[in-house]
Amino acid sequence: MRVLLTGGSGFIAAHVLDYLLEHGHSVITTVRSQEKANKIKEAHPNVSKDKLDFALVEDIAKEGAFDETVKSDPPFEAVVHTASPFHFNVTDIQKELLDPAYIGTAGILKSIKKSAQTVKRVVITSSFASIIDPFKGNWPEHTYSEADWNPMNQEQALKDAPSGYRASKTFAEKAAWDFVEKEKPNFSISTMCPPLVLGPIVHYLNSLDALNTSNQRIRDIMMGKAKDEIMPTGTYIWVDVRDLALAHVKAMEVSEAANKRFFVTAGYFSNKEIAQIIAKNFPQYKDKLPTDKTPGGDYPEGGVYKYNNKRVQEVLGVKFRPLEESIVDTVKSLQAVGA
């Protein structure tokens, strides 16, 4: 297939790109700068221009940002839209989180409908943030699935950056489903809703300072920041970035995935378990790591919500990696960039 991948230099997208190329697809990926394009290109030296090329989209929140990008010769048959902000260091929630997520998602769908009639499949990176009900706490009696929606409204979204982030993912995903319902485009959509995404960084795009938000906790534990007390886990479910990336590609390839949401999670984890895995596999960090007696970072006493991840396994055929494999590979990838 001829595929447009947005946000190609992002943590998830870099792995999606690898699977797309591995599966024989021809990809144009959007980047915010020529420098990013050069780095991706250098990392794939044996891939020809007809299999991997680039399009510059500096600001996904601009009206019509993707109008020209979706036009291609040969034309696109699928779009994988991963570009969206995930960070909490914001000063203006509306402008830095809500607008880019909402306008970026609605905008690309409009552009596809208008200028890329050949596109039949669109896969969108959403989040567990659009599934979880943040007002219910750990909610041990509940099993989350694709049927759940975060009930946040606009006013609640502006409260603080984490609320803004969760709302941005919810509003953006709802905008996508509303678009398909109202506009009846030529394409079907699938949305991917992962919780915390861990796993190896793609070395050519990352420095330790510019680490994706989810992996920062692994770096912090390695660097001794949990030695006296382990930071709270926050979200108790996770997925490896490689399994999530494969789920994106399979959702594009498998016809049964059309017009479905996918709750992409491997299961439970805690920061305490991360510390234990690092200690077991990397004895050189022993002096910086917490011990089994160190407080914090465990599961809540009253239990935590359950999850149903059957759809990803049954429809997409994705098998999830265990936590230990993911953490070990992540630590090795962080060591490669100087941790």
- Which position has the higher pLDDT, 102 or 86? 102
Domain count, the chain: 1
Q: Is the pLDDT of residue 233 over 70?
A: yes
Give dist(CA 161, CA 88) in Å, integer. 5
For 107-153, the pLDDT digits (tens) are: 999 999 999 999 999 999 999 999 999 999 999 999 999 999 999 99
DSSP codes, 251-276: HHH-GGGTTEEEE---EE--HHHHHH
Structural tokens at position 81: 């839209």
Question: Cis peptide leading into 232, omega within 30 of 0?
Answer: no
Look at residue 126 and give its three-state secondary structure: coil
Please report the pLDDT score of residue 9 as a whole number.
Answer: 83
**Residue 301 covered by a domain:** no
**Residue 329 covered by a domain:** no
**Residue 219 covered by a domain:** no
**Residue 295 covered by a domain:** no
Q: Which domain holds residue 71?
A: 2-199+236-266+306-313
**Residue 155 covered by a domain:** yes
**Residue 41 covered by a domain:** yes
Contact (Cβ atoms closer than 8 angstroms) between residue 121 and residue 258: yes
Number of residues in the chain: 339
Give dist(CA 143, CA 140) in Å, integer. 8
Query: What pTM, to 2 d.p., does this model score?
Result: 0.95
Give dist(CA 242, CA 215) in Å, integer. 14
Number of C-beta neighbours around residue 250 at 10 A = 20
For 46-63, the pLDDT digits (tens) are: 999 999 999 998 887 788
Percentage of residues of the chain with pLDDT beyond 90: 81
CATH (domain of 60): 3.40.50.720
**Residue 212 covered by a domain:** no
**Residue 291 covered by a domain:** no
